[in-house]
A = this chain, B = another copy of it.
Amino acid sequence: MVELMREALHTSVIDPVAASMNFLNEVAGRFPGAISLAAGRPYDEFYAVEDVDRYFGAYLAHLRCQGMPEEHVRQAILQYGRTNGQLGDMIARMLETDEDIRVPTSAVMVTTGCQEAMIITLRGLCAGPGDVVLAAEPCYVGLTGAARVLDIPVIGVPETSGGLRPETVARVAREVRASGRRPVALYVVSNFANPSGVSLTADVRRGLIETAAAEDLLILEDDPYGLFGLEDRRAPALKALDTERRVIYLGSFAKSVFPGARVGFLVADQPVISADGRRSLLADELSTIKSMITVNTSPIAQAVIGGVLVSCGYSLRAANSEKIAFYQRNLRALLAALERHFGADPAVGWNSPGGGFFAVLTTPVSADEKLLELSARDYGVLWTPMSFFYLDGGGTHAIRLSCSALTADQIDEGVRRLAALLAAVRL
């Protein structure tokens, strides 16, 4: 019988981050009673399965109401469809309503979750072996994973408590260029980043736009958590400040609707010029790549998300008021629990994100897989080592805490157990 050597498969298979995540899942599986401050998934009691039928029906009703003949409705749902999807107009309306982002429908591509939006964008922009992507570090593992599939190097730009500093981005871009490579784009989560919880200030946003122009970079703006701020006010999206069209916006419905739809999108309104002078938008050019990865996004899944958008008047912000209140309550519970259980411990620190699902705790001991195993087994609490999110080492004494999939009581109890763990290992 054939036997394949694992080390002979592509490096993305033996990705250390994937191995770390597998370890985390495996530990979670062995200790199902542990409270998970590791799981960053959205809370799942906002919807019932019956909502799928309801939203699907709302989308069909919308198509029929617009006068679409029944034969075309059937084709829209059951056939192959336009590669870039059928929700471009609805998503453009939503972006204008919620984010003050104004883009033509033709700049929107519907994708199989935001993950596909990342891999399509990276593939289109990075053409040769010298092309690299910069990313705020610590970095979301989805971005590094997509880059690894394509053998595209990711260069970290260290994040501060106010997010990336534009001058650091410029410095790293110049270093990359000096090494003979081309920095193509900068990836950044603008609000309440995964894993750090950090957001970009308004000044930093303007600075990043200027730096992108000065250093000839594109910016990949990812914003899955933007709705879930503790305050109503927040800084404008990078894309809303983007008069030069340097920002490609990556969107997700996983948190604002539900993950099971697996619908995301990208906005790429950059003009592209052919050698023969023909002009198009980047989203059109990327459609060829989309067709080679998934052909198009399931129209059934698109219809469910379309039904949500129709039903909420194209404002996810309005539609998410209940969720927003829930996640605000949870993050406040997390920050209060940290104060309660670690406030008297000068060796332990944490940040205070302005929203989102995550905060970071710094620890006096190494927060490694051994500690995680002990934590799960003897203290009944799970968390994520921050070292998982660094490209070349870092984060050894820090922990990502998630508060999205728990109740406030569970959050407090989880932090209490974590405090007991850290107290015990320092004896």
* Chain A residues within 8 Å of B, Cβ to Cβ: 1-13, 15, 18, 41-42, 44-45, 47-49, 52-53, 56-57, 60, 73-75, 77-81, 112-113, 115-116, 119, 123-127, 142, 145-146, 148-150, 213, 218, 243-246, 254, 258-263, 270-275, 278, 280, 282, 285-286, 288-289, 291-301, 304
From A3, A74, A280, name the one whose CB has the most chain B CB atoms within 10 angstroms. A74
The smallest beta-carbon distance between A426 and chain B, in angstroms, is 33
30 sample A-B contacts, Cβ–Cβ < 8 Å, listed by A number: A2-B218, A9-B124, A9-B125, A9-B127, A9-B285, A10-B124, A11-B127, A47-B78, A49-B77, A53-B53, A53-B56, A77-B260, A78-B258, A79-B260, A80-B254, A80-B259, A81-B260, A112-B112, A113-B295, A115-B292, A116-B294, A145-B291, A149-B292, A260-B298, A260-B300, A261-B298, A262-B295, A262-B296, A262-B300, A301-B301
From A42, A261, A304, name the one whose CB has the most chain B CB atoms within 10 angstroms. A261
Complex alpha-carbon distance, A388 and B351, angstroms = 57
By a CB distance below 8 angstroms, the chain B residues around A7 are 274-275
By a CB distance below 8 angstroms, the chain B residues around A42 are 79
Complex contact B295–A298 (CB within 8 A) = no
Complex contact B13–A288 (CB within 8 A) = yes
From A6, A15, A123, A286, name the one whose CB has the most chain B CB atoms within 10 angstroms. A6
The smallest beta-carbon distance between A215 and chain B, in angstroms, is 12
Complex contact B3–A273 (CB within 8 A) = yes
Complex contact A116–B261 (CB within 8 A) = no
Closest B residue by C-beta to A148: B292
From A8, A41, A260, name the one whose CB has the most chain B CB atoms within 10 angstroms. A260
By a CB distance below 8 angstroms, the chain B residues around A243 are 1
> Provided the pairs A52-B77, A259-B80, A292-B115 are in contact, do residues A272 and B9 lie with their beta carbons within 8 angstroms?
yes
Complex contact B49–A74 (CB within 8 A) = yes
By a CB distance below 8 angstroms, the chain B residues around A10 are 123-127, 289
From A3, A148, A254, A289, name the one whose CB has the most chain B CB atoms within 10 angstroms. A289
Closest B residue by C-beta to A80: B259
The 8 Å CB contact of A285, one of B6, B125, B292, is B6
Complex alpha-carbon distance, A111 and B274, angstroms = 34
By a CB distance below 8 angstroms, the chain B residues around A74 are 44-45, 47-49
The smallest beta-carbon distance between A131 and chain B, in angstroms, is 9
The smallest beta-carbon distance between A301 and chain B, in angstroms, is 5
Closest B residue by C-beta to A149: B292
A1-B271, A10-B127 given; name 10 further pairs at CB < 8 Å: A1-B244, A6-B273, A9-B272, A10-B125, A45-B74, A49-B78, A115-B295, A146-B292, A261-B300, A300-B300
Complex contact B2–A271 (CB within 8 A) = yes
The smallest beta-carbon distance between A267 and chain B, in angstroms, is 14
Complex alpha-carbon distance, A13 and B3, angstroms = 36
By a CB distance below 8 angstroms, the chain B residues around A2 are 213, 218, 244-246, 270-271
By a CB distance below 8 angstroms, the chain B residues around A150 are 150
By a CB distance below 8 angstroms, the chain B residues around A218 are 2
Complex alpha-carbon distance, A254 and B298, angstroms = 11
> Provided the pairs A49-B73, A79-B44 are in contact, do residues A286 and B13 lie with their beta carbons within 8 angstroms?
yes
Closest B residue by C-beta to A11: B127
Complex alpha-carbon distance, A243 and B48, angstroms = 45
Complex contact B126–A80 (CB within 8 A) = no
By a CB distance below 8 angstroms, the chain B residues around A299 are 260, 262
By a CB distance below 8 angstroms, the chain B residues around A125 are 9-10
From A9, A47, A115, A297, name the one whose CB has the most chain B CB atoms within 10 angstroms. A9
Complex contact B15–A119 (CB within 8 A) = no
Complex contact A298–B262 (CB within 8 A) = yes
